[in-house]
């Protein structure tokens, strides 16, 4: 057990201690064992070490050395514990559990490679024990987790931490906090045998005025010793109004109790009323503690070793019975959450997300912090928060601020005795905001020169659009948001539109800068083939699939209303020259007729039929002569083509067609309707609502 189990896993059996002290002569080992059994490890370890200087029996010496190692382990002096476990494993016929605890002590110091060796030794000595396999995997995972990229930043919460043990911070009213500490100011004159420090009390710390960074000196939550007694209190939770507090108290105010129980106390004005023990804390030898109230006040999560659990300490839940104004029978959260180890310090972030600490699930050291979501009333597999939130030490009692999002990140606090701590210390954590950018340069496709003053349009989820102009060096840049799909393209007068490039931030866990260069093809007086224009044999009626291709030409003409084009139609060499000429003229006119039907003024187009006069690949023929007779059907198809050519760039739209042009530009955000650098207010509002819906954690019920 860990030092901070003192509010749950330890009973102060002073009567038994007095009885032992009053007994007659007992051996040195018996005295040391008695101190050990009473969790007086500081006393026991010195007794055992004296015994080792005189003991000759190898078996006894191995047992005592193991006890010394255990004492240092319980006292969280991991380096000393490691030293003594190494001595044990070298002794003949030593308990193989020493290999396991050696690995654990190495893990606590984050010596994971050495821990792997120790756990493999334990598996060799005790094959088939799942505890060894789990420990080995946790050490291997820890090595990987420390290498992984993370958004978390962890810092000591210095305004609270002292030379003593400070842990289990909880939010209080008006920016204040409540926490548990065994600092010198705690009530009670006796020292706690395990830590040789004062017993724990509940403290609060409040900000100086409206400051969010400066705080007054921590003080006891009550000066009348209604809440705090001479024995251990701590680990609290409040209702939403901060008028009702649930907390853990061990051994009763008299010190004669043999367990820890959960009390509730209500504030009347500025004074706390009388504490009452919760109704389900009925067994005098069962541990109850670490309460956490759900945001809606309907569920109370807590820790207990009551019957029906899965191992050591489990997390249980009681539901408030409104009619009886009491808490119902506790229900174990089940084997997904609870293990054969200890699950402790639950924190109900929302009604459907629970944070907690465990040494039973694979972790990096002692207690690790996990979270689980309740989906369809079933808890999901717990997720380890990994490094740097978790460490080789004990990491526990996490709380998380409301209002976090994927983009902004989450903030909170937790307790740890990791390397660098002065015992149990409180740490704050936050996540660096997710920041995504999309940038690039617009180039001339032919010359590779940069193109300034081009319009670059960003389309978000096929719905919203924003646009910027490229700078003097052809560059552009957009800020992106998480969990969105984007496309980007460039446009400029006298150029064909660029290819559309795509970017997605969906599922990305870390910030990223995307680069997408865009290329604009300049208008040149050359033929551009319209791929995909097909006609039935000897027909000039457009097929449906051809209309899709012509729609793209229609869009080019509407985006560039100043151009005049020539539509050219070509045939292969088969059939007579006269026939092919007439067929090509009809096919070219079919194209211009379709575009005119779509709304293009007829004087913006010239339909030219070239027949077989411009064979592209040498497949010429006339009658039964010519190389074209030996060409394949694929080669003939290359000659049956439709092209367009820009022949003027000074067209002025007639009044009767301006309404159609204006409608198109409005719908496609062109010309006077081009997207702004930022979205219009209403569009931005809809976009942010969509973004928040994707990012927010489940709302409280």
DSSP 8-state assignment for residue 158: T
Q: Assign 695 a pLDDT band (cuts: 50, 70, 90).
A: very low
DSSP 8-state assignment for residue 216: P
pLDDT of residue 669: 78
Architecture of domain 3-152 in CATH?
Alpha Horseshoe (1.25)
Indicate if the pLDDT at residue 696 is higher than 50.
Answer: no
To which CATH superfamily is domain 436-523 assigned?
Answer: Carboxypeptidase-like, regulatory domain (2.60.40.1120)
CATH of 528-648, one of 3.40.50.11540, 1.10.3720.10, 3.90.1170.10, 3.30.1330.60: 3.30.1330.60
* Owner of token pair 């106390």: 265
- pLDDT tens digits, 407-448: 888 999 999 999 889 889 999 999 999 999 999 999 999 999
- CB atoms closer than 10 angstroms to residue 531: 9
Torsion angle (degrees, nearest 10) of CA 505, 372, 424, 214 = 50
* β pairing state of 383-384 and 378-379: unpaired
> H or E element: which one contains 685?
helix 681-695
* Owner of token pair 């049956």: 640
pLDDT of residue 683: 55
3 state SS of 323: coil
pLDDT of residue 142: 95
Q: With contact defined as beta carbons under 8 Å apart, do 567 and 585 qualify?
A: no
Closest Cα to residue 223, out of 177, 187, 266, 198?
Answer: 187
To which CATH superfamily is domain 153-431 assigned?
Answer: Glycosyl hydrolase domain; family 43 (2.115.10.20)
Length of the chain (residues) = 701
Question: At CA 594, angle to CA 588 and CA 596, rounded to 5?
Answer: 105
Q: With contact defined as beta carbons under 8 Å apart, do 559 and 489 qualify?
A: no
Q: Assign 373 a pLDDT band (cuts: 50, 70, 90).
A: very high
Rounded average pLDDT over 568-578: 91
Rounded average pLDDT over 628-655: 90
Q: Where are the alpha helices (DSSP H) in 599-632?
A: none
Q: With contact defined as beta carbons under 8 Å apart, do 109 and 366 qualify?
A: no
Q: Where are the alpha helices (DSSP H) in 398-530?
A: none
Closest Cα to residue 225, out of 187, 261, 259, 263?
Answer: 187
> H or E element: which one contains 466?
strand 464-469
Give the tokens for residue 282: 């009925």
What is the helix, strand, coil percentage profile of the chain, to 5?
A: 30, 30, 45
Indicate if the pLDDT at residue 1 is higher than 70.
Answer: no
DSSP 8-state assignment for residue 552: H
**130-147 vs 112-125: helix crossing angle, rounded to 10:** 170
Domain ranges, ordered by start, for the chain: 3-152, 153-431, 436-523, 528-648
DSSP 8-state assignment for residue 433: P
Closest Cα to residue 526, out of 643, 617, 641, 645?
Answer: 645
CA quadruple 608, 609, 612, 613: dihedral positive or negative? negative
The Cα diameter of the chain in Å comes to 131
Determine the Cα–Cα distance for residues 366 and 104; give it in Å rounded to an integer.
8
Q: What Rg value do the Cα atoms of the chain yield, rounded?
A: 39
User: Is the preceding peptide bond at 388 cis, omega within 30 degrees of 0?
Assistant: yes
Closest Cα to residue 498, out of 483, 508, 511, 488?
Answer: 488
pLDDT of residue 625: 87
Closest Cα to residue 73, out of 119, 39, 47?
Answer: 39
- List the beta bridge partners of residue 502: 487
Q: With contact defined as beta carbons under 8 Å apart, do 530 and 549 qualify?
A: yes
92, 256, 451, 624, 641 from 630: Cα distances, Å: 94, 110, 47, 11, 20
- pLDDT tens digits, 269-306: 888 899 999 999 988 889 999 999 999 999 999 999 99
3 state SS of 261: strand
Indicate if the pLDDT at residue 597 is higher than 60.
Answer: yes
Mark residue 642 as left, alpha or beta (left: phi above 0; alpha: psi -120 to 50; beta: remaining).
beta
Torsion angle (degrees, nearest 10) of CA 99, 104, 110, 113 = 30
14, 104, 224, 446, 477 from 184: Cα distances, Å: 22, 31, 17, 78, 57
- Give the sheet arrangement for strand 166-171, strand by strand: 166-171, 177-181, 201-205, 219-220
3 state SS of 500: coil
Indicate if the pLDDT at residue 70 is higher than 60.
Answer: yes
Residues in CB range of 461: below 8 A, 6 or more apart: 484, 485, 486, 690
CA 297 to chain centre: 26
Residues in CB range of 111: below 8 A, 6 or more apart: none
Determine the Cα–Cα distance for residues 605 and 608; give it in Å rounded to an integer.
10
pLDDT of residue 684: 57
User: What burial class does residue 488 get, using C-beta atoms within 10 Å of its C-beta: 0-12 exposed, 13-18 middle, 19+ buried?
Assistant: buried
pLDDT of residue 6: 43
The chain-wide mean pLDDT, for the chain, equals 88
Determine the Cα–Cα distance for residues 353 and 402; give it in Å rounded to an integer.
12
Rounded average pLDDT over 304-328: 92
Indicate if the pLDDT at residue 252 is higher than 70.
Answer: yes
Indicate if the pLDDT at residue 697 is higher than 60.
Answer: no
DSSP 8-state assignment for residue 450: B
Give the tokens for residue 569: 């139609």
């Amino acid at each position: 057990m860990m030092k901070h189990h003192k509010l749950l896993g330890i009973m102060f059996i002073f009567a038994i201690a007095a009885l032992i002290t009053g007994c007659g002569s007992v051996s040195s080992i018996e005295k040391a064992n008695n101190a050990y059994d009473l969790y007086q490890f500081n006393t026991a370890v010195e007794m055992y070490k004296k015994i080792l200087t005189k003991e000759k029996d190898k078996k006894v010496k191995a047992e005592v050395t193991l006890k010394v190692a255990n004492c240092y382990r319980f006292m969280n002096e991991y380096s000393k514990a490691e030293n003594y476990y190494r001595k044990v494993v070298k002794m003949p016929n030593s308990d193989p559990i020493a290999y396991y605890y050696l690995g654990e002590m190495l893990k606590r110091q984050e010596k994971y490679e050495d821990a792997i060796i120790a756990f493999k030794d334990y598996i060799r000595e005790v094959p088939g024990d799942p505890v060894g396999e789990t420990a080995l995997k946790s050490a291997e995972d820890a090595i990987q987790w420390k290498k992984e990229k993370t958004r978390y930043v962890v810092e000591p919460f210095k305004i609270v931490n002292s030379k003593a043990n400070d842990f289990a911070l909880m939010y209080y009213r008006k920016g204040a906090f409540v926490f548990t500490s065994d600092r010198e100011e705690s009530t009670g004159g006796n020292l706690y045998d395990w830590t040789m420090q004062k017993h724990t009390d509940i403290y609060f710390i409040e900000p100086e005025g409206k400051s969010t960074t400066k705080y007054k000196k921590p003080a006891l939550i009550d000066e009348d010793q209604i809440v705090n007694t001479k024995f251990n209190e701590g680990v609290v939770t409040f209702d939403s109004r901060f008028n009702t507090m649930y907390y853990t108290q061990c051994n009763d105010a008299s010190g004669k109790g043999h367990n820890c129980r959960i009390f509730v106390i209500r504030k009347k004005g500025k004074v706390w009323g009388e504490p009452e023990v919760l109704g389900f804390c009925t067994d005098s030898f069962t541990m109850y503690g670490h309460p956490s109230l759900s945001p809606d006040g309907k569920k109370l999560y807590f820790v207990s070793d009551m019957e029906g659990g899965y191992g050591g300490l489990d997390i249980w839940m009681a539901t408030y019975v409104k009619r009886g104004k009491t808490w119902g029978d506790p229900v174990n959260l089940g084997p997904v959450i609870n293990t054969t180890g200890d699950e402790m310090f639950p924190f109900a972030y929302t009604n459907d997300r629970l944070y907690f600490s465990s040494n039973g699930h694979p972790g990096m050291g002692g207690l690790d912090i996990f979270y689980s979501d309740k989906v369809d009333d079933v808890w999901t597999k717990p997720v380890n928060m990994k490094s740097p939130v978790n460490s080789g030490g004990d990491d526990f009692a996490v709380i998380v601020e409301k209002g976090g999002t994927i983009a902004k990140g989450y903030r909170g606090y937790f307790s740890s005795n990791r390397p660098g701590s002065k015992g149990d210390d409180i740490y704050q954590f936050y996540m660096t905001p997710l920041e995504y950018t999309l940038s690039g340069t617009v180039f001339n496709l032919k010359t590779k020169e940069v193109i300034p003053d081009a319009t670059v349009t960003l389309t978000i989820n096929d719905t919203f659009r924003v646009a910027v102009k490229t700078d003097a060096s052809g560059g552009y840049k957009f800020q992106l948001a998480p969990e969105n799909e984007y496309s980007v393209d460039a446009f400029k007068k006298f150029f064909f539109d660029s290819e559309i490039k795509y970017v997605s931030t969906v599922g990305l866990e870390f910030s990223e800068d995307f680069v997408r260069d865009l290329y604009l093809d300049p208008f040149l007086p050359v033929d551009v083939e319209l791929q995909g224009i097909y006609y039935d044999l000897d027909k000039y009626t457009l097929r449906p699939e051809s209309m899709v291709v012509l729609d793209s030409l229609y869009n080019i003409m509407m985006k560039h209303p100043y151009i005049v084009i020539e539509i050219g139609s070509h045939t292969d060499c088969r059939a007579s020259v006269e026939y092919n000429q007439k067929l090509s003229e009809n096919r070219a006119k079919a194209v211009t007729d379709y575009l005119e039907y779509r709304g293009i003024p007829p004087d913006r187009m010239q339909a030219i039929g070239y027949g077989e006069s411009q064979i592209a690949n040498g497949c010429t023929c006339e009658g039964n002569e010519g190389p074209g007779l030996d060409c394949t059907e694929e080669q003939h198809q290359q000659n049956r083509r439709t092209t367009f050519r820009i022949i003027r760039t000074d067209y002025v739209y007639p009044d009767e067609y301006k309404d159609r042009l204006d409608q198109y530009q409005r719908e496609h955000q062109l010309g006077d309707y081009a997207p702004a650098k930022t979205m219009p207010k209403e569009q931005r509002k809809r976009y942010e609502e969509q973004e928040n819906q994707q990012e927010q954690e489940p709302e409280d019920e």
